[in-house]
Each structure stands twice: as structure tokens, then as C-alpha cells.
């Protein structure tokens, strides 16, 4: 396979939060915590001068070495090759649509949010007996709209009743890592969605708690959708090397919501954008890459294992991500074998970005989020640009990393870096609305 040589620049960025907390409702950028120098016993590099050079896999070269010169070859040959590569080596192989899937709309349409919205609530049962994992979906549609609306589907770290200030939301429980049981959700402000600007712009908004699909800790396997597909006696420890991890499971859950949207006449299921933060940014990258029904993707600070380049030794690496004390359960077991030498891996984030082409992608980062490598995310889009151009969509139009608060809006690849750290700040919602107007055309 021909690879792309890239020289890393000398710019350096500051510290950030280490852990995957989605600060979606912050009133001001938080004071960045010092970037960790060692994680899971593994040193962390934040010095561009120590990165050197790296060679990226070329998205436009087939496994047999022949170049991809037209859209048909990309769509029929190269794209399936890359999907298979990520399924085998990084995220794992997930099943298709479950035969027993069913939907229960338990609230069909109630005025909400001071008359701005119509609230709808749905249970998406992922197993035929309805005793397995099920998604509680919260939806808001713009009031007074009579035609199917484009949607933003945001996968959330918290219970749906904590996502929006609305007393009409049916409360749900969340998983407790200590007891491995579901408990009452406590706290407000974590995972808040700024719904009103989206409604004002003509978009519907939907969200669900990621734990409805799988608890986010190693011992959560038994209560996950993955356990329902495992062989008798299957566990997290003995799963096949290319079996799906949690990220693929959460992405699979997003596809099940799209299944429901295809049955809902109030939703334009062909204009659904997806959004997630941190590990859920990784989730929406894979969901968008794997399921072409999604019309656009917004990934916030997805970092390593998402949109940041793994071949680039900066911030979190595959070794940090797959260390036994951290998140190996989130990926295929095969992913850990690249921990010592990611420069040898046949895949990287530029290929993942390319899988979303020709659909619009926005990577939102933070200039002090060193751990997630915002520059590495920008460079992955640069390296995926040839695929977007091949499919007659715009690349970023520049190879110069922009300053904070300078958005790049194009009809294909888009990038924005806020002034702040990991997750989101309030002003990011304005960027999202601008992107979605361009990507989903709510005026249609």
C-alpha cells in the first residue's frame, strides 16, 4: 500500500482535561488542567519537535496497489476495503439490524419549551423479547412545522431528563459502575443540549443515553447489547479479536435510532446529522463512516481512536487508549496490537474521515485540549481531502492549521477550534447551527 509522507510542524499547544467528560453546558471555558505527563505508566508527548515524520496510509490506493482514479472505484472497491479494515483492526465487527427490533411511541406529540417545540418520546427495543437493552429516545420538533424536518441526533453521557430543562421528560435511570446496576440519575448540567437555537433554525433535535446500549465500564459487558450477540459463555475477556467493542455498540445504537426515524413521518430521515463528544465523538465518527444513511457528522474532541492521527505521536496514543487499566473494552481486541508501533498500522484517522465522504463533516476541537490533539484532527482532514475532491466535494481549502475561533466552512470538510479545552463551550452551538444550515438545508 502506498503511504502519504507527512512532516509534523513545530507549533505547540497547551494542556487539557484527561478524562472524557462532555462539558456541553459550560457558561465559560474552564481553566485547563495541566496536561498529564504520564498516563497508565506510559509517557505522553506534547512537543512537536519530538514528533518527527510519519507516513499515512493512502485512501486512494487499493489493497492490490492500484490507484483509485474515479468515484465508482472508490465506492465499489476502496471504501468497502477500508470499512473492513476498521472493523477488523479497530472498532470490531457489529451485527446488522436486529430482527426483533420494535418501536413504541409512548408520547406522540406534546407542546413543550414554552410552545417552541413538540416533544415526542419513544422506546426502541433492541431485542424481540423486550427484556434486553432498549433506547429511550427524546425528540423535539419545531412547533408549527407541517413537513418532515431535518434532525440532529446527539448521543449523550447522561439521562435524557438531564439533557433538557423540561419537566415533561420521562425520567430514566443510569448505570452505576460500583454496583453494576441502574440507579436514579442525579445532578444537572452534564450533557446539556442547547435545543432552542436548533429549533429556531428549523431543525429537530433527538438524544439518548449511551448506557441504554452499553454501560461504559469493563464489567458492563453482561448488561450490554454485545452480550446478547455473544456466544454462550462469552465475556469481555474471551471475545474474538475482531469482535465489536463499546464504541461500535454505541454507534450501532445510533443506527437503530435511524431505523426508527425511517418510520416517523415527522422526520426527514435522509437529513439526519449525528453529534457526540469525546468517546462519543469517536462513536459518531464510526457511526457516520459505517452507516451511510447519516447525512452529516459533528464530532467534538474525538481525539485518539477518532479523528486524531494515530501515526502522529502527540497527546493520547493507541497505547494509552488500550492500556488494561483504561479503555480496551471500547475497541476490537486487535486494536491493542498497534499500541507499540502505530506507525505500522494499516489504518489511521484520515481513512476514517474519508469514509464519511462525500457527506459533510465538522470536526470541533479546543486549542488547549492537547491530550486530544486538535492539530492531529485537522491534519487527518487535510489528508482525506483527495477523497472529497474525487467525489466532487470541497476539502478544507488549506493546509495551514487555523487559529482558535476561526471556522472553516466548506460543502465537504469543515473544522473549528474553540478557545478552550475538552468538550464544548456555549459558542460552539452557533458554529453547529451554521454548519447544519449548510449541510441539511432546513429551508427545503
Task: Report whether 416 contacts 272 (CB < 8 A).
Answer: no
Task: Report whether 106 contacts 121 (CB < 8 A).
Answer: yes
List C-alpha distances in Å: 243 to 2, 36, 184, 239, 372.
Answer: 28, 31, 32, 6, 26
Q: Please give the Cα distance from 330 to 90 (Å, whole number).
A: 9
List C-alpha distances in Å: 424 to 25, 28, 377, 403.
Answer: 8, 10, 16, 17
Which is the catalytic residue, given 278, 300, 372, 380? 278
End-to-end CA distance of the chain: 43
Mark 192-226 as b/e (b = at least 16 C-beta within 10 Å): bbbbbebbebbbbbbbbbbbbbbbbbbebbebbbb
Burial class of residue 140 in the structure, from the number of CB atoms within 10 Å of its CB (0-12 exposed, 13-18 middle, 19+ buried) = buried
Which among 201, 279, 266, 225 has a CA at the least distance from the CA of 440?
Answer: 201
DSSP one-letter code for 244: -
Q: Please give the Cα distance from 96 to 239 (Å, whole number).
A: 18
Residue 278: active-site member: yes
Which is the catalytic residue, given 311, 320, 418, 422? 422
Which among 160, 144, 293 has a CA at the least distance from the CA of 204?
Answer: 144
3-state secondary structure of 306: coil
- What are 4's strand-pairing partners? 56
DSSP one-letter code for 91: I
Q: Please give the Cα distance from 195 to 204 (Å, whole number).
A: 9
Q: Please give the Cα distance from 127 to 134 (Å, whole number).
A: 8
Helix locations, 166-278, DSSP H: 195-200, 225-229, 246-261
Which residues participate in catalysis according to the annotation?
A: 278, 422
Amino acid at each position: 500500500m502506498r503511504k502519504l509522507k507527512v512532516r509534523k510542524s513545530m507549533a505547540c499547544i497547551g494542556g487539557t482535561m484527561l478524562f472524557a467528560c462532555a462539558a456541553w453546558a459550560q457558561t465559560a471555558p474552564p481553566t485547563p488542567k495541566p496536561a498529564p505527563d504520564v498516563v497508565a505508566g506510559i509517557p505522553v508527548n506534547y512537543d512537536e519537535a519530538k514528533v518527527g515524520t510519519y507516513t499515512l496510509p493512502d485512501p486512494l490506493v487499493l489493497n492490490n496497489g492500484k490507484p483509485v482514479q474515479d468515484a465508482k472505484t472508490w465506492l465499489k472497491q476502496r471504501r468497502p476495503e477500508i470499512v473492513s479494515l476498521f472493523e477488523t483492526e479497530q472498532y470490531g465487527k457489529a451485527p446488522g439490524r436486529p430482527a426483533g427490533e420494535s418501536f413504541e411511541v409512548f408520547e406522540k406529540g406534546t407542546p413543550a419549551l414554552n410552545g417552541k417545540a413538540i416533544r415526542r418520546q419513544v422506546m426502541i427495543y433492541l431485542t424481540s423479547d423486550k427484556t434486553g437493552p432498549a433506547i429511550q429516545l427524546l425528540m423535539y420538533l419545531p412547533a408549527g412545522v407541517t413537513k418532515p424536518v431535518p434532525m440532529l441526533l446527539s448521543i449523550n453521557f447522561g439521562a435524557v431528563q438531564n439533557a433538557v430543562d423540561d419537566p415533561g421528560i420521562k425520567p430514566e435511570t443510569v448505570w452505576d459502575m460500583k454496583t453494576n446496576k441502574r440507579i436514579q440519575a442525579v445532578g444537572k448540567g452534564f450533557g446539556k443540549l442547547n435545543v432552542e437555537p436548533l429549533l429556531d433554525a428549523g431543525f429537530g433535535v433527538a438524544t439518548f443515553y449511551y448506557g441504554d446500549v452499553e454501560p461504559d465500564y469493563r464489567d458492563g459487558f453482561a448488561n450490554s447489547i454485545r452480550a446478547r450477540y455473544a456466544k454462550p459463555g462469552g465475556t469481555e475477556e474471551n471475545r474474538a479479536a475482531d469482535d465489536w467493542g463499546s464504541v461500535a455498540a454505541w454507534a450501532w445504537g445510533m443506527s437503530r435510532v435511524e431505523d426508527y426515524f425511517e418510520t416517523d413521518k415527522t422526520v426527514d430521515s435522509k437529513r439526519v446529522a449525528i453529534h457526540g463528544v469525546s468517546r462519543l465523538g469517536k462513536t459518531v465518527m464510526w457511526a457516520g463512516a459505517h452507516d451511510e444513511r447519516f447525512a452529516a457528522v459533528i464530532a467534538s474532541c474525538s481525539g485518539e481512536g477518532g479523528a486524531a492521527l494515530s501515526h502522529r505521536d502527540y497527546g493520547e496514543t493507541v497505547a494509552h487508549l488500550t492500556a488494561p487499566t483504561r479503555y480496551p473494552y471500547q475497541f476490537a481486541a486487535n486494536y491493542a496490537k498497534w499500541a507499540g508501533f502505530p506507525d505500522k498500522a494499516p489504518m489511521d484517522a484520515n481513512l476514517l474521515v474519508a469514509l464519511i465522504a462525500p457527506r459533510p463533516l465538522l470536526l470541533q476541537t479546543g486549542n488547549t485540549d492537547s491530550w486530544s490533539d486538535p492539530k492531529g484532527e485537522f491534519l487527518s482532514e487535510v489528508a482525506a481531502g483527495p477523497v472529497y475532491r474525487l467525489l466532487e466535494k470541497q476539502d478544507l481549502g488549506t493546509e495551514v492549521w487555523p487559529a482558535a475561533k476561526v471556522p472553516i466552512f466548506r460543502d465537504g470538510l469543515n473544522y473549528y477550534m474553540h478557545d478552550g479545552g475538552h468538550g464544548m463551550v456555549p459558542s460552539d452551538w452557533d458554529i453547529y447551527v451554521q454548519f447544519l444550515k449548510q449541510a441539511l438545508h432546513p429551508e427545503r
